[in-house]
Amino acid sequence: MTDECIAIKYEYIRKDQTSMLMPTLDKLDAQPTGREKSTGSAGNSFGVNATASSKGSSGGGEDISAGHKYTAYMPTERHASQYNMNHKNRGLALIFNHENFDIPSLKSRQGTNVDCENLGAALKKLHFQVNTYKDCKLREILKHVDHAASQDHTDNDCIVVAILSHGEHGYLYAKDVQYKLDTIWHYFSAHTCPTLAGKPKLFFIQACQGDHFDPGVLMRRTETDGETSMSYKIPVHADFLIAYSTIPGFYSWRNTTNGSWFMQSLVEELNANGKKHDILTLLTFVNQRVAIDFESCVPDCPIMHQQKQIPCVTSMLTRILRFTDKPSNGV
């Protein structure tokens, strides 16, 4: 981002078989190329000790939960094609909205309040309990996330976390420092938040992931144009979905009046088809809206003029997710 970046080292401490995150802050020289060195071991950025080993499937009817380190209530049938969205409540939606920063190199994010208000309204229509937090420092973010993860989600369908902020090369910005997203979603993994085990955990990230621009390509027409529910194990990081506003390394566009391209498209799609299509179909059409309907208009700056953007979805979902309607007495 310019003169100086703040990076975070993560120390995981085992306490009562729960992995707790303790951030320590170190100032590092800026890395304009975004080639930050990884502080974690290969293939395990969450600091989770995988001590249990699998010695075969449970297809023979054995009780694999006996003596297993982590157990959780099964919210749906083992081979169900769709998530159980018939709990009493839809669940929590946390929106972290960042407009102003303590870091001098970061400009105010004009238009983000429109995104926050519109996204909150769309999620409320889908029966979420929406909590918004403005310009939080990292420790405040972790406090709110920890509080949400420590609640009993037994009667909830799922959880949503939205982060609207600056970002670059794998990092997001709190008001005071930068951090990696796994700092947040680690709290909701199946072994740290067992009442959300087997339930969807959705993250919507509106932030740059770099400083590259996408000029797009001009397209022209061509001339030819049923089992029983026995116990079973799931990965602790299953059932997550992360939707980024742009692909790694690229700029994410925001209109100072109407809000960001990604959030505008996400809100429109949730409002129009939120109870009709499954989440991956919804996000496919969000990608379509952003890719086709938007183009930057900065004629005074040729390098930023007529640029395009494409969101990026990472899914670890194991079933189809639809926001089916709730009874009138629901949340």
Active site residues: 166, 208
Helix H, strand E, coil C: the string for 27-72 is: EEECCCCCCCCCCCECCECCCCCCCCCCCCCCCCCCCCCCCCCCCC
Among 314, 309, 299, residue whose Cα is nearest residue 265: 309
CA dihedral sign, ordered 143, 145, 149, 152: positive
Overall size of the chain counted in residues:
331
Angle, CA 235 vertex, CA 232 and CA 240 arms, to 5°: 120
Round to whole Å and give the CA distance between 150 and 202. 17
Q: State both tokens at 317.
A: 């979902």
Round to whole Å and give the CA distance between 174 and 99. 10
Round to whole Å and give the CA distance between 32 and 68. 46
Q: CA torsion, points 207, 210, 215, 219, in degrees to nearest 10? A: -70
Q: CA torsion, points 145, 262, 276, 161, in degrees to nearest 10? A: 0
Angle, CA 293 vertex, CA 108 and CA 217 arms, to 5°: 100
Round to whole Å and give the CA distance between 95 and 315. 20
Q: Which residues contact 215 (CB under 8 A, 6 or more apart)?
A: 306, 307, 308
